[in-house]
């Protein structure tokens, strides 16, 4: 298997910061959100059929997947969910990122009640830092994703989007505010755009006449996001293969063993081994019975 085909698995821990029962999202809800994340990143989401013509051909399976950790930093069994009672849930910020697990071993995801939007207005659903921003303290202590609990519901794509930032993807319009000026994200197959906020126009070529914008991209704010491009796939995989913020240790065989994760590809081999063992056992039992009869 060459590097372009290797499936990278990332161990994940959810830190649920709560006071009320509603904020304390259930294990089942977190599992559903993880499923949504993996469907999107592996291009297994059923709504790829809605991708605008011209972009469906460059919609990519990133071959990156995420799995809740089964071993915690102390070597104890875990379900990958850390529940913390704290009023810091109400003003979600870097100061709400309690009990971070080692960033070189886990993707930390914090779930809080609210993230203040400051002077920008609107609602902040979540945020994450680029790998380049979290190499050194204090930001190295805040590496990961923080999101509000109402978007941890099994259907929201907030986590899909923020994982993109965590793996070095910018918004499709680049830096700055949405809908201000046409911009670029540094990825060759995502056209210039101003971005789209909670809308889904059937067509938009306002930045360059005759050039359609990729309104279905997960790194836009449109209401119809269904895809990453091949260029974005190359960028996120490069981030995982880089030592910047120790992303390249996350999917290493040693780390997957330390966090209790079965490496992608070995599950099939394990199933085949179990099947062969069952067949062998069945044959041995049959031979033993036949010997007894004779």
* Residue labelled with tokens 């995801």: 109
Helix, strand or coil, per DSSP, at residue 53: coil
The reported pLDDT for the residue numbered 5 is 81
DSSP 180-246: SS-B--S-TTS--B---BS---S---SSSTT----TTBTTSB-S---B-BHHHHHHHHHHHTS-GGG
Is domain 8-293 given the CATH code 3.40.390.10 in the classification? yes
User: Which of the listed ranges 57-71, 108-122, 256-270 does the model predict with the highest average pLDDT?
Assistant: 57-71
- For residue range 241-287, list pLDDT tens digits in order: 999 999 999 999 999 999 999 877 554 344 444 454 454 544 454 54
Candidate from 95-104, 119-128, 182-191, 278-287 with smallest mean pLDDT: 278-287
First to last CA, the chain: 50
- Classify residue 174 by burial, with Cβ atoms within 10 Å: 0-12, 13-18, 19+: middle
The reported pLDDT for the residue numbered 139 is 97
In degrees and rounded to multiples of 5, residue 14 shows phi and psi of -100, 130
How many angstroms separate the CA atoms of 136 and 148, rounded?
26
- For residue range 16-56, list pLDDT tens digits in order: 999 999 999 999 999 999 999 999 999 999 999 999 999 99
The reported pLDDT for the residue numbered 285 is 41
How many angstroms separate the CA atoms of 42 and 212, rounded?
24
* Residue labelled with tokens 């990958």: 80
- For residue range 175-230, list pLDDT tens digits in order: 989 999 999 999 999 999 999 999 999 889 999 999 999 999 999 999 999 999 99
Question: Domain spans of the chain?
Answer: 8-293
Give residues with Cβ within 8 angstroms of 287, minimum separation 6: none
Would you name the residues annotated as active-site residues? 162
* Residue labelled with tokens 């207005």: 121
- For residue range 132-186, list pLDDT tens digits in order: 999 999 999 999 999 999 999 999 999 999 999 999 999 999 998 999 999 999 9
> How sure is the predictor about 123, in pLDDT bands with cuts at 50, 70 and 90?
confident
By DSSP bridging, strand 64-68 and strand 8-18 are parallel
The reported pLDDT for the residue numbered 119 is 57
């Amino acid at each position: 298997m060459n590097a372009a085909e290797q499936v990278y698995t990332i161990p994940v821990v959810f830190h649920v910061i709560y006071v009320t029962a509603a904020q304390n999202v259930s294990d089942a809800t977190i599992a559903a959100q993880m499923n949504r994340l993996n469907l999107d990143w592996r291009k297994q989401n059923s709504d790829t059929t809605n991708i605008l013509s011209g972009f469906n051909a460059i919609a990519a399976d990133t071959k990156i997947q995420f799995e809740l950790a089964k071993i915690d930093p102390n070597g104890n069994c875990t379900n990958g969910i850390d529940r913390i009672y704290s009023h810091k849930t109400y003003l979600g910020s870097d100061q709400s990122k309690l009990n971070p697990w080692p960033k070189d071993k886990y993707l930390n995801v914090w779930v809080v009640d609210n993230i203040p939007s400051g002077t920008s207005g609107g609602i902040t659903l979540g945020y994450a830092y680029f790998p380049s921003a979290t190499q050194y303290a204090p930001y190295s202590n805040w590496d990961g994703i923080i999101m509000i609990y109402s978007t941890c519901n099994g259907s929201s794509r907030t986590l899909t989007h923020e994982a993109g930032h965590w793996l070095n993807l910018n918004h499709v319009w680049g830096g700055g505010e949405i809908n201000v000026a046409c911009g670029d994200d540094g990825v060759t197959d995502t056209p210039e755009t101003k971005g789209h906020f909670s809308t889904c126009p059937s067509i938009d070529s306002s930045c360059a006449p005759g050039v359609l914008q990729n309104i279905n991209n997960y790194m836009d704010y449109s209401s119809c996001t269904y895809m990453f491009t091949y260029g974005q796939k190359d960028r996120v995989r490069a981030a995982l293969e880089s030592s910047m913020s120790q992303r390249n240790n996350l999917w290493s065989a040693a780390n997957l063993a330390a966090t209790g994760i079965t490496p992608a590809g070995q599950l099939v081999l394990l199933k085949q081994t179990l099947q062969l063992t069952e067949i062998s056992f069945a044959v041995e039992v049959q031979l033993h019975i036949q010997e007894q009869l004779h």
